[in-house]
Structure 1
Amino acid sequence: MKRKCSLKSLMIAIFLLCAVICAVGVIKMDTFPNQRIPLMTKPAFEKGWTYQAGGRQGTVDSFPFHRKDKTDTLILTAELPHLDGSEYLSFSNQYTSCQVFVDSVKIFDYGEETTAPFGSMLGNVSCNVPLKSQYSGKTISIRFEKQYSFAGFSVEEMLLGTGSEIRFYYAKANVGVLACTLLMAIIAVAMFILYLVQKAKRFKYNYRLFLHLSVVAFTGAMWILTDSLLPQFFLGSTIIITVLSFWSFMAMPIPVVNIVADFCNHGKKGLHLAQMVILLNMIVQTLLYMLNLADFPQMLLATHLILVFALICIVYALIRECKSREARFTNDILFAIFVLVLFGLVALADFYVSGTSNNNSLYYRWGIIIFVLLLTVVNIKRMGVFLEEWEQNRVLSKLAFTDIMTKTSNRSAYERYMDDKAGCDVKKANLSFILIDLNDLKKVNDTYGHSAGDQVLIDAARCIKKVLGNVGDVYRIGGDEFVVIIEGKDVDGQAYQAKLTEEIEKSNHKAKYPFTMAFGFASAKAEGCNDLKELQKKADLNMYLDKQNYKKQ
């Protein structure tokens, strides 16, 4: 065996060496023409731009271009190159209205005169301006105007290219967003499946945590995706994307609070209050937007304050729980919450200090992802501990209700069954009893010893299980007495007695100590019994009659 393994390893090593030499030779000495298609370059239009802001003028050295002036207006100007009519000017715009002019003629408007069913609302969008060929060589101006106090002027890139070039660029630039969204979606689906499996098996522990974590991952994935520029290229409508982004952001703390509430015995009032405040905030903001009184970005400060309040309630409950002796896994959750709070505070600080949203969105994104991954690990560890304890209890329970010698259920299991079925309608349950008693087991013990008697019991149990084990439950209820309980099936007692006798005869041909059995069958339907005890007595009586017949032989 060792020689075969060493020969196999040698052959694998020889192949790998040949493969390396072959690959190096092909790469170094290949003279065929290069068939690789070059990657599409960034369709940038970032040279020649100037800016005006608050009486100041200057040259835009590079993009991203950020300014947080006290002025409410920023104007970017450049001269358009030669155009063939298929190009778009594309630039990111974060919560400011903008208008695009070519030689003082407005060709694009976002947020100034545009309307929506419940009023206009600005978001983190990509403005895509179609350009005609006659615009070649003309001056293009982009006028940005603040609509929200927190917003600054931030233009991440300035692109000029065809629609496919711009879509490809944004898809490539947002690979990280797609990866994060996919990861969160996979976690959401996996946690939901685990929740359904555990619910179906009715495990006796709080498996709802998997459902809550699934909702956290789902809302996180929804927010990460809608906070990026990608959905705009599929849905077109920027307002519905912005609404979904704010809804998912506001709703995200609710399942987090649910997770903590399920773990903690302390601070539940504060956690419940936090949930109510979050839900009230979502309802009020949605109604105000529908009534065209305020939009979500205008109420963002209230959302942030409520988020901080919810985090304070969560941390308070977890710290109180950590001090209690029965706390388990609480430290792990507290660490996950600490990571989320840390990233959240950094994101909030960046948002209100810099006035831009790209970095703070990135901080939030990583905070949520790390938080979900940590909680996933905690939940899996918790499930592992439960399954380990559950398996230990199952094994102990099986040992407690199993006859060690014959591997059948024991008298304790039989009595538990009888207690559970006490008072049941035996006719409706279609119960049948088979009582089996070994003949002359005492003689075997006295003649050959108790080890011989034990072997007879083992052989007898094997025969009973082989014939009746798939029909009903087999119990050893005394030294040489077995009972088989059959439920919900019509049984021919004589047929099974004949099968059991045949199986015993086969066993006796090989057995050192042959044996026979007395057989007593009773069916609730056939006997007209009304209760369990009566049915048992009928089977016992029939077994006694069979044993008397054996003794007369």
Structure 2
Amino acid sequence: MKKLNFTSITKYTILFLIALLLTVTAIVFLEGRKSKNISLWITPASYFNEGWYYFDSDSRRQEIDSLPVRIPADKFGTARIYHKMVRSSHYCMYIDYYAHHQAVKAFFNDELIFEYAPPSNPGWLKSYRSFHNLIAIPLNRDGILCIETKASISSTAGEFGQIRIGSRDELLNRIVSERLPQFLLGAVLIVLGFILFIITAFYLRVAFDRTILYFTLLLIFLGVWQTEESRLLQFFIGFQALHWFFEYMMQPFILILSFLFIKELFINKKHPALIILFACITLSIFTQLILQITGIAQMTSTLFMINSMFIVVFAYILVLINLNFEFARKSVKVIFSISIALCIVSFIISSAVKHHKNFTDPILYLGIVFLFISISIFVIQKTQKQFNAVRSAEIYKKLAFLDISTGVSNQTAWYTLIENFSADGIKLDKYCMFMFDMNNLKTINDQYGHLEGDKAIRSFCECLKRAVGKSGDIYRIGGDEFICLCKNIDYTRATQIENMFDYYVKNQTESKVQFTAAHGYAFFSPSSKADFIQAQSMADKAMYENKILSKKGRS
């Protein structure tokens, strides 16, 4: 019978506990299906789309079948719709009216109960943003509710979207529940962007590749744009100009970052395809801004230029990465290509049927998710390659500076240290340089063989390591010569290192050959590379004096 050890008992006990926990969980889940679910969401607000009417230019009442609707507006872009309100047991109810680039006023029995007017400056900016407006309706009496809109841009004149009615909490819950997925998508992109930056810049210590930098910024800007598109930033930020920036300026910035990302993929930075793409992007953004500033067309009506360029840019990314980048596996390349192709299709559909936002918005979110997946696959693959290259380079560098036999730094490391030295500030650091030399290594090699001589050298070095500890760094500069460089130690510690080294050498058991050693040290405060050479000469002289004294003591 196989004897159980502690490791086996631990493993089987943990497996039994996990199985027991899962069994109990399964029982609770199965029984829990019989109970009623709880929810923190308040009863959703109901639509308030029927019963509205308006007056035409001849003052005749015209019934509206249902919202949303577009009715004739006057020459100033103003339009009004009306609804008869009946007295209710509720003292006050709210309606949620989504103003689409419109100023809004609400009247109850000709009394102004709500007003929202977008900023009037700068004068050329007619469209700030679309906002939710929660309007309190007094229901302690019968009356006529009138909603008046004045369009900032001609395309929204006379436009009235769906209206919901309910308590304030019901309306807020409805807005949040509908927009939360898009807000979370944006938040996730922002967080991932910052995480990627931190990992690549600090954890992996990779030289920050521009491709990764642009991708990181692309994630953050996409995230900000999507959180703004969710409309939920309105809960936290009231500054309308900032909402305008997040909505309309993010997209050109995303386009510029996408171009910079593509530019890094080109080996030939002056490739004609790259120049043409840059010219198209520059022209579309410049045209948009000129049309906006001159008042000829608002940003809202020229976004098709940006959307078209997005499709072109994503197509460039698809082609370039497939042509210029070698993926780790063919399956990864296929997933990347399918993801970015689906992203392109999503943006084409979203641009083609932009007037049906309930249909196009989810497709656009899906497109952004596919874009994130595809480029993430590429960046992860590239980062992994880059990290492996850096790690290999670090290994080669370490090997180049390492004495394989003893495990301490070698002569190359020592002279590299001197070559790269620079004094820090006015106050110079105090160093102590030790020289250590094994006596009669040639005799040991001749008498016992080179294998035993190497073993004696390793034992010698181990004694030195134990004596120095963390006080300094050790370098093997010759067959039996070592330098130890200590920073900011005093004479007491220097003498202690020598005495401990002598003790360890005398009592070593790693080598069957008993050996002796000479040593000496010199203190110096270097201000230049030459000071190291001079200190080495002084320490070397002190070591040979010690060697002569040792020989006299043994004779």
The question of 1:344 aligning with 2:343 is answered no
* Residues 125, 238 of structure 1: 8 Å contact kept: no
Task: Please show how residues 172-321 of structure 1 align to structure 2 within 5 Å.
Answer: 172-194=177-199, 196-197=201-202, 201=205, 203-204=206-207, 206-236=208-238, 241-265=243-267, 266=269, 267=271, 269-270=275-276, 273=279, 277=283, 280=286, 284=290, 288=293, 294=295, 298-306=298-306, 308-309=308-309, 312=312, 315=315, 319=319
State the 1:388 CA deviation. Answer: 1.5
* Residues 254, 278 of structure 1: 8 Å contact kept: no
SS of aligned partner of 1:118 = coil
* Residues 96, 146 of structure 1: 8 Å contact kept: yes
* Residues 51, 64 of structure 2: 8 Å contact kept: yes
Measure, in 2, the Cα distance between the counterparts of 1:357 and 1:12.
Answer: 47
* Residues 435, 484 of structure 1: 8 Å contact kept: yes
Which residue type is aligned with residue 342 of structure 1?
Answer: V
Residues 419-476 of structure 1 deviation map (CA, whole Å, 9 limit, x = unaligned): 5459999x95655432222122333333333332222111111111222252333222
Query: In structure 2, what is the equivalent of residue 551 of structure 1?
Result: 551
Query: In structure 1, what is the equivalent of residue 504 of structure 2?
Result: 503
* Residues 195, 211 of structure 1: 8 Å contact kept: no
Which residue type is aligned with residue 188 of structure 2?
Answer: L
Residues 234-286 of structure 1 deviation map (CA, whole Å, 9 limit, x = unaligned): 44565653454122233221222222223323345456556655774676577
Which residue type is aligned with residue 505 of structure 2?
Answer: I
Measure, in 2, the Cα distance between the counterparts of 1:135 and 1:233.
Answer: 31
SS of aligned partner of 2:250 = helix
Unaligned segments of structure 1, at least 5 residues: none
* Residues 127, 153 of structure 2: 8 Å contact kept: no
State the 1:347 CA deviation. Answer: 1.9
Query: In structure 2, what is the equivalent of residue 370 of structure 1?
Result: 370
Measure, in 1, the Cα distance between the counterparts of 2:421 and 2:111.
Answer: 88
When structure 1 is superposed on structure 2, of 173-182 and 359-368 the one drifting more is: 359-368
State the 1:519 CA deviation. Answer: 1.0
Query: In structure 2, what is the equivalent of residue 521 of structure 1?
Result: 521
* Residues 271, 314 of structure 1: 8 Å contact kept: no
CA RMSD of aligned residues (A): 4.5
User: 90, 96, 105: which one pairs with 1:90?
Assistant: 96
* Residues 53, 73 of structure 1: 8 Å contact kept: no
Unaligned segments of structure 2, at least 5 residues: none
Identity %: 18
SS of aligned partner of 2:171 = helix
State the 1:163 CA deviation. Answer: 1.9
SS of aligned partner of 1:252 = helix
Measure, in 1, the Cα distance between the counterparts of 2:32 and 2:365.
Answer: 44
State the 1:547 CA deviation. Answer: 2.2
The question of 1:438 aligning with 2:438 is answered yes
When structure 1 is superposed on structure 2, of 215-224 and 49-58 the one drifting more is: 49-58
Distance 1:488 1:22, change over 3 A: closer
Query: In structure 2, what is the equivalent of residue 40 of structure 1?
Result: 42
SS of aligned partner of 2:252 = helix
Query: In structure 2, what is the equivalent of residue 165 of structure 1?
Result: 170
* Residues 66, 152 of structure 1: 8 Å contact kept: no
When structure 1 is superposed on structure 2, of 369-378 and 149-158 the one drifting more is: 149-158
State the 1:517 CA deviation. Answer: 0.6
Calculate the TM-score normalised by the size of structure 1: 0.78
Query: In structure 1, what is the equivalent of residue 482 of structure 2?
Result: 482
Which residue type is aligned with residue 229 of structure 1?
Answer: R
Distance 1:541 1:116, change over 3 A: same
User: 56, 80, 99: which one pairs with 2:85?
Assistant: 80
Residues 186-217 of structure 1 deviation map (CA, whole Å, 9 limit, x = unaligned): 12321332354279x5x44x434444333323
Measure, in 2, the Cα distance between the counterparts of 1:423 and 1:146.
Answer: 69
* Residues 219, 252 of structure 1: 8 Å contact kept: yes
Task: Please show how residues 373-384 of structure 1 align to structure 2 within 5 Å.
Answer: 373-384=373-384
Distance 1:70 1:101, change over 3 A: closer
SS of aligned partner of 2:232 = coil
Measure, in 1, the Cα distance between the counterparts of 2:17 and 2:333.
Answer: 53
* Residues 247, 282 of structure 1: 8 Å contact kept: no
* Residues 435, 482 of structure 2: 8 Å contact kept: yes
Measure, in 1, the Cα distance between the counterparts of 2:238 and 2:463.
Answer: 73
* Residues 122, 239 of structure 1: 8 Å contact kept: yes
State the 1:11 CA deviation. Answer: 5.2
* Residues 291, 298 of structure 2: 8 Å contact kept: no
State the 1:319 CA deviation. Answer: 4.4
Measure, in 2, the Cα distance between the counterparts of 1:484 and 1:90.
Answer: 77
Measure, in 2, the Cα distance between the counterparts of 1:68 and 1:376.
Answer: 46
* Residues 522, 535 of structure 1: 8 Å contact kept: yes
Residues 165-193 of structure 1 deviation map (CA, whole Å, 9 limit, x = unaligned): 21122112222122112212212321332
Query: In structure 2, what is the equivalent of residue 118 of structure 1?
Result: 122
Distance 1:495 1:159, change over 3 A: same
Measure, in 2, the Cα distance between the counterparts of 1:14 and 1:330.
Answer: 42
Count how many residue pairs are aligned between Structure 1 and Structure 2: 529
Measure, in 1, the Cα distance between the counterparts of 2:335 and 2:33.
Answer: 50
* Residues 327, 381 of structure 2: 8 Å contact kept: no
The question of 1:389 aligning with 2:389 is answered yes
SS of aligned partner of 2:127 = coil
Calculate the TM-score normalised by the size of structure 2: 0.78
Measure, in 2, the Cα distance between the counterparts of 1:389 and 1:176.
Answer: 39
* Residues 124, 242 of structure 1: 8 Å contact kept: no
Measure, in 1, the Cα distance between the counterparts of 2:324 and 2:363.
Answer: 33
Measure, in 2, the Cα distance between the counterparts of 1:13 and 1:324.
Answer: 49
